[in-house]
């Protein structure tokens, strides 16, 4: 039993952390933002948390909160130029942001340790704290989905012209989504450092950008379960077969293409939709048998 | 807030003048038609009033408030609602959810409150859902409340769009070709609905090609051609106006 | 000294322009943000390298084959990735994701093929000749002249295609309204293939040029240039040919000067600071190729 836990615990920890990172990406997409900035936010949070904890010896929880705040600030900073722009620009600019974070952390050596990064970070993010943080994140996102924010996000994402015509301030909700995405991304990055003893510039580079977006595309970007399912799938894949592990980027690339063409809503949302359409088909036959013609002369559909 | 006024409203796209020096006024509680041949600039006018397009010249006034350079969401919050030429609903959401979103303008709870899920937020949600149900019932569509909006017939979808616009509690409702694709019975019933709404104080601006509908339900009509006003008046006057006949039928 | 850096900047900028032209062409014509464009560029360089080292071709035929090969690869990209997406009514988001995926696939294959090593063209592949202009304190190499000349020729060729040939005119019609053009007899699919081929060919040319100029070909060389292209098209306007050219030259100069006079590390940050400022002030660039009259918010 001990052997089993010892073998799989590190993977479980990483799944929790990558889940939070996937949620950072999810929030942006849910709101209709074409932001791919999660890896950059993770860099902000990872280095902020690590620096505060390891170099300044702050309390771990306080360091964590400070990291989240740094991420929120980064998100709001990005939203300044990007909240009013079209999707393509947001995608380009946020990819650029990830690269610039890698450059900055490589060269701000006095604070960030340059290419070597910061090492010897105390492992304070063990499995139980990770599960708690993940659970809190899921509760937060579920609440958001069920309230007016979720409604506004849906409207903006599906038809932003209609959303505007109904009084939804798209810029406001984009700013909010950026701030939330920033906070969650920073949280994930911080936890990564607090769990794996170190942070380096390349850890928060293009591969992390890809894995975050792949998890959400694969799992689904509407329901809260989507990113979690996608993360588990992606992280379990290398464990199944060696070649899949070696060709990580190639596999993710092929998956991205295949899923976005043939299953664009992702696994979870496609299943949910099929369940819902079965349900409404049953409802409609009931409705039809009750009323043949509605008032105002409109024939029942 | 009684009048929606356009003053010398002009829109040029590059070298092309889509709307030229349009000066017209719409009144609350009245049904006003805005008609003209295809390409006359009617939808552009609607887009400018609702803030989607910025005018090149001229002004738009809602009472004493200038709408000329506002954003779309501001226009909505000031009580200007609209429907679209190609009915735009959230096709996967239920009819009820589509209408609940229409109440967004009335949302009082803050972003923060909505993030943590304070009690006030759930109360507001229940309130919106109840009001949405009431609206749906008023138009006799209760049976369809939980259906996916995309699964409805065309006539029903148009109606849902109108109901959604009403959720805003608008002072002015801009209808962009609401009768397109409807048969005579359906359009007549839509007409009866908008007459009711006008009686309740909503100012209806009707952009429409269906002449019988326009003549029957509009109290005052503005005719535009190539972006310019060529005639205005009651249905009879406009029907017999030489300029109007020429614009539609050519020489 | 400054004059020399200006010249260097213009040369580098010319290559950025060449690369960005293909990118902006695909977007301007078909609203596709082809994020795999950098990988095509990289494969152009690789094909050129392999022609020279394994097939023992001299530079010019190798260049031509690399350009054609990159064009073909770009067409395959459209056929396998973007066209199925179009058939299923994919949106802008879908093409971005698909582009990222395609980029990954192309890079991974290149990584395998090159064993993740940086490769060098054989010494002497291009004659090392310099010209001095004493009065201005300039030292210009033959390579620099050929680079700028090649870019100029290709650019003129592109403009001629767009405005003088039948297919180019068809392409512009499709860019304005695909449905109507199709009804008028234009073969939209053929136009897509053309656009992708030309864009890929231009990228491949840029790849070989850069591979020789900086004496390095690696599977990651497409990444930094994609980012330069981002800045170029934001500055120059998405879809604007003139904008891509001018902005590319400008970026080359700015970058060269900041590397020399400030620091090579900060030059990246400077360039991106510029990007964000432009996004804040004039997101449609200075030469908007497409009208964006409709506001989102």
Per-residue 3-state assignment (H helix, E strand, C coil) for B1-56 = CCEEEEEEEEEEECCEEEEEEEEEEEECCCEEEEECCCCCCHHHHHHHHCCCCCCC
CA of residue A297 relative to chain centroid, distance: 48
Q: Is residue B85 part of a domain?
A: no
Find tokens 């899920």 and name the residue: B117
Largest CA distance in chain A: 76
CA atoms A28, A33, A34, A40: torsion sign: negative
pLDDT tens per residue, range C162-217: 888 877 777 777 777 777 777 777 777 888 898 999 999 999 999 999 999 888 99
Angstroms from A198 CA to nearest CA on chain C: 23
DSSP helix/strand/coil, C105: helix
Find tokens 């009323």 and name the residue: A291
Which one, of B142, B97, B194, lies nearest residue A291 by Cα? B142
Q: Is residue B86 part of a domain?
A: no
Please check whether residues B127 and B231 belong to one and the same domain: no
Q: Is residue C3 part of a domain?
A: no
* Cβ–Cβ contact C295 with B under 8 A: yes
Indicate the pairing of strand B220-225 with strand B228-233.
antiparallel
Q: Is residue C283 part of a domain?
A: no
Q: Which of C97, C269, C270, C293 to mutate to test the interface with A (most CBs of A within 10 A)?
A: C97
Q: Is residue B224 part of a domain?
A: yes
Q: Is residue B159 part of a domain?
A: yes
Q: Is residue C212 part of a domain?
A: yes
Q: Which residues of chain A are within 8 Å of residue C33 when distances are taken between CB atoms?
A: 88, 91-92
Which one, of C262, C257, C279, lies nearest residue A107 by Cα? C262
pLDDT tens per residue, range A137-171: 999 999 999 999 999 999 998 888 999 999 999 98
For residue B116, give Cα distances in angstroms to A64, B125, B127, B227, C70.
20, 14, 19, 50, 53
Between CA A44 and CA A127 the distance in angstroms is 23
Residues with Cβ within 8 Å of A143's Cβ and at least 6 positions away in sequence, in order, are: B114, B115, B116, B117
- Residue B231's DSSP bridge partners are B223
Please check whether residues B125 and B60 belong to one and the same domain: no
Please give the DSSP secondary-structure letter assigned to residue A201: G
Quick one: tokens of C182? Answer: 């199709």
Quick one: tokens of A62? Answer: 């306080």
Q: Is residue B89 part of a domain?
A: no
Please check whether residues B20 and B143 belong to one and the same domain: no
Please check whether residues B134 and B205 belong to one and the same domain: no
B65: burial class by Cβ within 10 Å (0-12, 13-18, 19+)?
exposed
Q: Which residues of chain B are within 8 Å of residue A143 when distances are taken between CB atoms?
A: 114-117
Are the C-beta atoms of C237 and C289 separated by less than 8 Å?
yes
CB–CB contact C85 A261 (8 Å)? yes
Q: Which of A247, A250, A261 sits opposite C88 (nearest CB)?
A: A261
pLDDT tens per residue, range C49-76: 999 988 888 888 999 999 999 999 999 9
Q: In which domain, by residue range, is C53 found? A: 12-222
Q: Which of B102, B141, B186 sits opposite A166 (nearest CB)?
A: B102
CB–CB contact A166 B105 (8 Å)? yes
Q: What domain count does chain B have?
A: 2
* Axis-axis angle for helices A206-219, A225-240 (nearest 10): 120
Q: Is residue C227 part of a domain?
A: no
Please check whether residues B109 and B132 belong to one and the same domain: yes
Q: Is residue B110 part of a domain?
A: yes
CB–CB contact A34 C105 (8 Å)? no
Q: Is residue B31 part of a domain?
A: yes
Q: Mean pLDDT over all residues of chain A?
A: 87
Which one, of A100, A8, A68, A95, lies nearest residue A194 by Cα? A68
CB–CB contact A166 B76 (8 Å)? yes
pLDDT for the residue A182: 97
pLDDT for the residue C272: 76
Number of C-beta neighbours around residue C155 at 10 A: 18
Are the C-beta atoms of B80 and B46 separated by less than 8 Å?
no
Between CA B202 and CA C33 the distance in angstroms is 45
Q: What CATH number does residue B54 fall under? A: 3.40.50.300
Cβ pairs B/C, distance under 8 A: 17
* Cβ–Cβ contact B72 with C under 8 A: yes
Q: Is residue C285 part of a domain?
A: no
Q: In which domain, by residue range, is B18 found? A: 1-79+170-251
Q: Which residues of chain C are within 8 Å of residue A103 when distances are taken between CB atoms?
A: 265, 268-269
Q: Which residues of chain C are within 8 Å of residue A255 when distances are taken between CB atoms?
A: 101
Q: Which residues of chain A are within 8 Å of residue C113 when distances are taken between CB atoms?
A: none
Q: Which of B112, B137, B167 is the last residue of a domain?
A: B167
The beta strand positions in chain C, using DSSP E, are 130-133, 138-141
Render each residue's pLDDT in chain B as its tens digit; 251 residues: 689 999 999 999 888 888 989 999 999 999 999 999 887 789 999 999 999 999 999 999 998 899 999 999 999 999 999 999 889 999 878 899 999 999 999 998 888 888 888 999 999 999 999 999 999 998 888 888 888 888 888 888 999 999 999 999 999 999 999 998 888 888 888 899 999 999 999 999 999 988 889 999 999 999 998 889 999 999 999 888 888 888 877 65
Are the C-beta atoms of C3 and C209 separated by less than 8 Å?
no
Q: Which of A31, A165, A175, A269 to mutate to test the interface with B (most CBs of B within 10 A)?
A: A165
Q: Which of B112, B135, B167 is the last residue of a domain?
A: B167
CB–CB contact B90 A155 (8 Å)? yes
Indicate the pairing of strand C130-133 with strand C138-141.
antiparallel
Q: What domain count does chain C have?
A: 1
Q: Is residue C230 part of a domain?
A: no
Quick one: tokens of A63? Answer: 């360091």
Q: Is residue B151 part of a domain?
A: yes
Number of C-beta neighbours around residue B86 at 10 A: 8
For residue B235, give Cα distances in angstroms to B32, B192, B214.
10, 17, 8
Q: Is residue C146 part of a domain?
A: yes
Q: Which of B146, B167, B188 is the last residue of a domain?
A: B167
Q: Which residues of chain B are within 8 Å of residue C291 when distances are taken between CB atoms?
A: 13-14
Are the C-beta atoms of A39 and A20 separated by less than 8 Å?
no
When pLDDT is averaged across residues C223-236 and rounded to a whole number, the result is 85
- How long, in residues, is chain B? 251
Output the CA angle B211-B214-B219, nearest 5 degrees: 145
Please check whether residues B106 and B227 belong to one and the same domain: no
Q: Is residue C97 part of a domain?
A: yes
pLDDT band at C296 (very low <50, low <70, confident <90, very high): very low
Write out residues in chain A with pLDDT < 50, as ranges: 289-301
């Amino acid at each position: 039993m001990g052997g089993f836990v010892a073998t799989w615990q590190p993977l479980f920890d990483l799944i929790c952390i990558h889940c939070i990172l996937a949620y950072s990406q999810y929030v942006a997409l849910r709101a209709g933002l074409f932001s791919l900035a999660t890896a950059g936010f993770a860099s902000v949070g990872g280095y902020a948390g690590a620096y505060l904890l390891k170099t300044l010896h702050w309390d771990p929880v306080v360091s964590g909160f400070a990291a989240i705040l740094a991420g929120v600030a980064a998100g709001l900073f990005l939203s300044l130029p990007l909240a009013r722009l079209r999707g393509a620009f947001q995608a380009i600019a946020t990819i650029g942001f990830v690269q610039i974070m890698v450059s900055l952390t490589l060269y701000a050596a006095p604070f960030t340790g340059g290419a070597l990064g910061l090492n010897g970070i105390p492992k304070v993010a063990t499995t139980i704290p990770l599960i708690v943080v993940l659970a809190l994140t899921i509760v937060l996102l579920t609440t958001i989905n069920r309230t007016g924010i979720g409604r506004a996000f849906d409207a903006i994402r599906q038809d932003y012209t209609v959303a505007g015509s109904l009084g939804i301030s798209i810029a406001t909700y984009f700013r909010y989504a950026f701030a939330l995405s920033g906070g969650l991304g920073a949280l994930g990055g911080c936890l990564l450092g607090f769990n794996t003893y170190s942070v380096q510039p390349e850890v928060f580079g293009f591969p992390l950008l890809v894995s975050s977006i792949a998890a959400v595309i694969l799992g689904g970007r509407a329901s809260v379960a989507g990113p979690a399912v996608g993360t588990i799938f992606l992280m379990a894949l290398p464990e199944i077969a060696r070649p899949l592990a070696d060709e990580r980027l190639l596999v993710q690339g092929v998956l991205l293409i295949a899923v976005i063409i043939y299953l664009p809503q992702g696994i979870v949302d496609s299943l949910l939709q099929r369940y819902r359409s079965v349900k409404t088909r049953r409802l409609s036959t009931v409705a039809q048998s009750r009323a043949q013609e509605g008032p105002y002369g409109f024939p029942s559909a | 807030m009684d009048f929606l006024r356009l003053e010398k409203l002009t829109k040029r796209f590059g070298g092309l003048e889509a709307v030229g020096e349009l000066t017209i006024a719409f009144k609350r509680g009245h049904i006003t038609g805005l008609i003209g041949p295809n390409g006359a600039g009617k939808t552009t006018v609607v887009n400018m009033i609702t803030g989607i397009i910025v005018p090149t010249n001229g002004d738009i006034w809602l009472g004493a408030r200038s709408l000329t350079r506002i954003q779309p969401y501001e226009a909505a919050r000031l009580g200007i609602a609209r429907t679209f030429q190609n009915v735009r609903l959230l096709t996967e959401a239920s009819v009820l959810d589509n209408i609940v979103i229409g109440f967004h303008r009335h949302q009082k709870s803050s972003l923060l409150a909505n993030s943590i899920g304070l009690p006030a937020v759930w109360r507001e949600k229940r309130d919106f859902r109840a009001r949405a149900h009431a609206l749906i019932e008023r138009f006799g569509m209760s049976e369809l409340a939980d259906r996916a909006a995309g699964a409805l017939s065309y006539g029903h979808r148009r109606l849902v769009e109108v109901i959604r616009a009403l959720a805003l509690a608008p002072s002015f409702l801009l209808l962009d070709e609401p009768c397109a694709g409807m048969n005579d019975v359906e359009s007549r019933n839509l007409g009866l609905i908008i007459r009711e709404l006008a009686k309740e104080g909503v100012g209806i601006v009707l952009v429409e090609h269906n002449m019988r509908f326009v003549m029957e339900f509009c109290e005052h009509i503005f005719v535009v051609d190539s972006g310019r006003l060529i005639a205005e008046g009651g249905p009879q006057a406009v029907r017999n106006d030489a300029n109007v006949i020429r614009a539609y039928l050519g020489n | 000294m400054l004059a020399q850096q200006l010249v260097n900047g213009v040369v580098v900028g010319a290559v950025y322009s060449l690369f960005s032209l293909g990118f902006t062409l695909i977007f301007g014509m078909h609203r596709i943000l082809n994020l795999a464009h950098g990988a095509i560029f990289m494969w152009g360089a690789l094909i050129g390298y392999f022609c020279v080292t394994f097939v023992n071709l001299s530079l010019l035929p190798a260049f031509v084959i690399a350009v054609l090969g990159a064009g073909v690869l770009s067409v395959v990209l459209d056929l396998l990735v973007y066209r199925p997406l179009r058939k299923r009514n994919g949106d802008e988001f879908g093409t971005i994701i698909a582009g990222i995926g395609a980029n990954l696939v192309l890079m991974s294959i290149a990584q395998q093929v090159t064993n993740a090593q940086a490769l060098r063209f054989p010494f002497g592949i291009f004659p090392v000749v310099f010209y001095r202009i004493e009065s201005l304190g300039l030292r210009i190499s033959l390579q620099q002249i050929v680079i700028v000349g090649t870019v100029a020729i290709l650019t003129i060729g592109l403009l001629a295609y767009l405005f003088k040939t039948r297919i180019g005119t068809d392409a512009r019609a499709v860019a304005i309204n695909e449905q109507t053009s199709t009804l008028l007899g234009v073969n939209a699919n053929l136009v897509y293939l053309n656009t992708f081929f030309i864009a890929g060919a231009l990228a491949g040319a840029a790849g070989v040029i850069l591979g020789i100029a900086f004496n390095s070909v690696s599977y990651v060389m497409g990444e930094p240039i994609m980012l330069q292209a981002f800045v170029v098209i934001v500055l120059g306007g998405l879809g604007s040919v003139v904008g891509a050219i001018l902005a590319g030259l400008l970026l080359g100069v700015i970058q060269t000067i900041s590397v020399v006079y400030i620091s090579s590390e900060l030059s990246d940050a400077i360039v991106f600071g510029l990007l964000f400022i432009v996004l804040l002030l004039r997101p449609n660039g200075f030469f908007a190729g497409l009208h964006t009259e409709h506001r989102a918010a």
